[in-house]
Homo-oligomer: A and B are copies of this chain.
Amino acid sequence: MPKMRQSINIGLMGLGVVGGGVAKALIEKAEVLARQAGCPLTIRKILVSHPAKRRSIQVEPDLLTTDAGDILADPEVDIVVEVMGGERPALDYIREALISAKHVVTANKEVMAKYGPELQALAQEHQVDIRYEASVGGGIPLIAPFQHDLSANRISAIYAIINGTTNYILSRMAAEGLDFSLILKEAQELGYAEADPANDVEGVDAAYKLAILASLAFHTKVGPEDVYREGITRLAGHDFRYAKELGFAIKLLAIAKESDDEIEVRVHPTFVPEDFILAKVDGVFNAVQVEGDLVGKLLFHGEGAGARPTTSAVVADLIELAHNINSGVGTRAKPRFEPSKTIRPMSEIRTRYYLRMSVADHPGVLAQISKTLGDNLISISSVIQKGTDERAQTAEMVIMTHPAQEQAMQRALREMEGLAVVQEISNFVRVEA
């Protein structure tokens, strides 16, 4: 048996919202965490940009440093906790920590999505672990379930609501029937959306998280560049009203599927049947549904962001590493990469579609549109026509299709745009059912 440590020493990088939460928990819960970990978890240094800044958390001024080297070169630091966010310099610090045989806990989805496999290999090489439960879904256990609890399963699909900002905006749009830009403004005023909201509303954040989950689920390397991505900015109040009429909610879903050794990974607004549990996930909550051959459908639901939930995940990772260190185990979470799998091109996916378009209000229009769809092997499941603008002599037409290939749908859309009777294709949204 290896000797139980007197203390496990932590170098904390970042003292913002998440870092402050982690420091607070380590200080205020020191006694109970020591009991959990088997020995005290001691903060040895905290890397900050501005030591003099006023903070909600009080820490010993001696703990603060502006020099990453004070943590990375300190042989007494066992674990580096990286909660700075962003790609650089976080990536460099993580690499250096691993090379110095320090374990790493990170909440950094961007770094893990882009460099996860490389960093895991580096960790193994140096006989340490990198843990990243906090990088997806805040305090919702997601990384550990894929690494451990679901390891007997062949995962066939993941459907995830993993961006709180967009889910808040979509919930409000559904409730109010208003367009995206109005609700975004409200969300910004309430602090649910950032001044520059692109990372959230364009699906970048969700794509990072999906890349991380898909890599774990399918035991392969999926990077953010592999994820097809479409944001929520084109959605209008109209779309929510039609969705409701048709029995659907609209969610920004992150979808990963595997079939025939090909992987589909995509983030886009999606029509979700109202009786699906994911349709009922509202506001800033996150939810991830996983389908496995043994476990069936499993759903994880909780707060996907914020200081406290993220701290819950970071500290759980710390306690696990403490157990490993005290058991003399260097590296434990060995990623299993299977023979490389192909990412299915977006043009080849099959799904149902919702189309909303502005058309001329006279007989024969539907015949022309359905011929165009039919020529592309797309069949219609239902049609709604309403909202005639008498002055302009136009009507709004909504079409739900049966499953069709994306490539065929894109071609049909171009052809329909060329029809004289079609004034505008106002929106098209993919459907999961």
For residues 55 through 94 of chain A, which have their beta carbon under 8 Å from a beta carbon of chain B? none
For residues 139 through 158 of chain A, which have their beta carbon under 8 Å from a beta carbon of chain B? 139-141, 144-145, 148-154
Q: Interface range on chain A: under 10, 10 to 19, 20 to 34, or 35 or more?
A: 35 or more
Shortest CB-to-CB span from A148 to chain B, Å, is: 6
Q: Enumerate chain A interface residues (CB-CB to B < 8 A).
A: 21, 25, 29, 32-33, 35-36, 38, 133, 138-141, 144-145, 148-154, 277, 280, 292-303, 306, 308-309, 311-313, 315-316, 319-320, 323, 327-329, 332, 334, 336, 338
Which chain B residue lies CB-closest to A140?
B298
Main DSSP-derived SS at the A contact region = mixed
Give me 22 A-to-B residue pairs in the complex whose CB atoms sit less than 8 angstroms apart, sorted by A's number: A21-B294, A33-B152, A36-B336, A133-B149, A140-B298, A141-B145, A144-B144, A144-B145, A144-B148, A148-B319, A151-B315, A151-B319, A294-B308, A294-B309, A294-B312, A295-B309, A296-B309, A297-B303, A298-B302, A299-B301, A299-B302, A327-B327
Q: Given the interface contacts A144-B148, A277-B280, A319-B151, does A312 sit within 8 Å of B300 by beta carbon?
A: no
B297 touching A302, Cβ below 8 Å: yes
A299–B304 Cα gap in the complex (Å)?
12
Which 9 A-B pairs rank lowest in CB-CB distance, beginning with the nearest? A152-B315, A139-B295, A294-B312, A141-B149, A299-B301, A298-B302, A295-B312, A296-B303, A294-B308
B280 touching A148, Cβ below 8 Å: no
Q: Which of B148, B152, B312, B323 contacts A152 (CB 8 A)?
A: B312
| Residues in B whose Cβ lies below 8 Å from that of A329 | 327-329
A295–B21 Cα gap in the complex (Å)?
12
| Residues in B whose Cβ lies below 8 Å from that of A140 | 295, 298
Shortest CB-to-CB span from A41 to chain B, Å, is: 10
A338–B315 Cα gap in the complex (Å)?
19
Which chain B residue lies CB-closest to A139?
B295
A296 touching B280, Cβ below 8 Å: no
A139 touching B294, Cβ below 8 Å: yes
B280 touching A292, Cβ below 8 Å: no
A25–B151 Cα gap in the complex (Å)?
12
A32–B377 Cα gap in the complex (Å)?
39
A150 touching B316, Cβ below 8 Å: yes
Q: Given the interface contacts A300-B300, A302-B298, A312-B295, does A149 sit within 8 Å of B153 by beta carbon?
A: no
A152 touching B316, Cβ below 8 Å: yes
| Residues in B whose Cβ lies below 8 Å from that of A151 | 36, 315-316, 319
| Residues in B whose Cβ lies below 8 Å from that of A311 | 152, 294
A315–B148 Cα gap in the complex (Å)?
10
| Residues in B whose Cβ lies below 8 Å from that of A139 | 292, 294-296, 298
A35 touching B336, Cβ below 8 Å: yes
| Residues in B whose Cβ lies below 8 Å from that of A152 | 25, 29, 33, 36, 311-312, 315-316, 319
A133-B149, A144-B148, A323-B332 are known contacts; what are 5 more A-B pairs with Cβ within 8 Å? Answer: A25-B152, A144-B145, A295-B302, A295-B312, A298-B302
| Residues in B whose Cβ lies below 8 Å from that of A312 | 149-150, 152-153, 292, 294-295
A303 touching B309, Cβ below 8 Å: no
A313 touching B33, Cβ below 8 Å: no
Which chain B residue lies CB-closest to A24?
B294
A159–B336 Cα gap in the complex (Å)?
35
B295 touching A277, Cβ below 8 Å: no
A312–B145 Cα gap in the complex (Å)?
11
A147–B328 Cα gap in the complex (Å)?
20
Shortest CB-to-CB span from A273 to chain B, Å, is: 14
B323 touching A301, Cβ below 8 Å: no
